[in-house]
Amino acid sequence: MDIQTLEHIALFDKCRQFTKAREIQAAGLYPYFKPISESEDTVVTIEGKKRIMLGSNNYLGLTHHPKVLEAAQRALYQYGSGCTGSRFLNGTLDLHRQLEDALARFLGKEECLVFSTGYNANLGFISALVGRGDVVMLDKLDHASIVDGAKMSFGETERFTHGDLASLDRKLERAGARGSMIVVDGVYSMEGDIADLPGLLRVARKHGAAVAVDDAHALGVLGPNGDGTAAHFGLIEETDIIAGTFSKSLASIGGFVAAAEPIIHYIRHHSRPLIFTASLPPANTAGVIAALEVLQVETDRRDRLWANTRHLHEGFRSLGFEIGPTETPIVPVLIGPMEQTFIMWRRLFDAGVFTNPVMPPAVQPSQCRLRTSVMATHTPDQIDYCLEQFAIIGRELGVI
């Protein structure tokens, strides 16, 4: 379709008028959709240059683990490249059931259901469980997939200020005797802080509300065995639903929901994102099974992750950077204005450090930041180099 045709279709006016990204591209500051041509765990090659990856969710560094790669390769040749159908019909493999059984045991739940993505998992369980007359309560910093799952449901959505349990209590009081569910992130993806699950459960039980936790950034990170937020607080039995993704610590793609068997049975037969989406490919599924096994055996990886997390936290704070309330390997570095953030991203990128710029509408215009995240496999020298570059460029730009 040429530009003249576009000009005659009103629906596409917004496309022609969207110029901000092109302006940033023209200035040489565009940070998104950068093709990675090669990956070596903590180092990636982009535009022909090796750069330290300080923006990945590969917390345990398992994407290159030989057991994960070998399991994926075996499954590829045994089952083929894809399932070519949904879980509901021809797309369920014995591998899917093996993974569901292993995750249920690991998380301390009766049953588990595997989805094609973590996004689909949240869409799937929220839209299946929250029906007409029900209400779903969301923290204002919940992940977009949680918000979209609530929108897809036929229930009412209420949002409460981040971590404000008094606000949540008032909203549940107004909701009355309706069916209600609270859905929160276990670890918030842009802030790095941990949900107050004990407090949430106290409020929920007062009003007879269900509690669901998205452990996307907590699985493999929190808990005595890397088993997530509920385990971290010793509240596995009290937490009704645990959801998550395989695209972070478990080094692949896909998602899951774990809960009591009647809940999973209902979701299995009512979740449109499950029933109408092709199932997780064999190689990915086998890789996740292997990654889950490695997570439980190589516990020193989690020790190294937390040592690196402390190293990065202390380094940024000692240099004078503002990193907010983070308690986890997610470390947001506040820069401030949008243009300055783009410039600092570019300077770091040119210095061989890859970070993720966070801009409006995700944050306020004056609160732009660079989201960094550390891995178990980063070396102390790599972290020191990144901190050194942040210090040099931050001082030159007046950030610190």
Active site residues: 189, 217, 248
Strand-pairing partners, residue 180, are 135
Is 156 strand, coil or helix?
A: strand
d(CA 103, CA 96): 11
Total Cβ atoms within 10 A of residue 3: 8
Nearest to 368 by CA among 396, 400, 343: 343
Q: Does a cis peptide bond (omega within 30 degrees of 0) precede residue 198?
A: no
Quickly tell me which residue has 């180099």 as its tokens: 385
Locate 81 and state its tokens.
């490249």
The CA-atom distances, in angstroms, between 104 and each of 19, 97, 231, 240 are 47, 10, 13, 13
User: What percentage of the chain's residues is helix, strand, coil (to nearest 5)?
Assistant: 45, 20, 35
Q: How far is CA 208 from the centre of its chain?
A: 28
d(CA 400, CA 105): 47
Total Cβ atoms within 10 A of residue 147: 18
Angle at 64 between CA 387 and CA 370, to 5 degrees: 30
Strand-pairing partners, residue 353, are 52
Locate 52 and state its tokens.
């330290």
* Amino acid at site 298: E
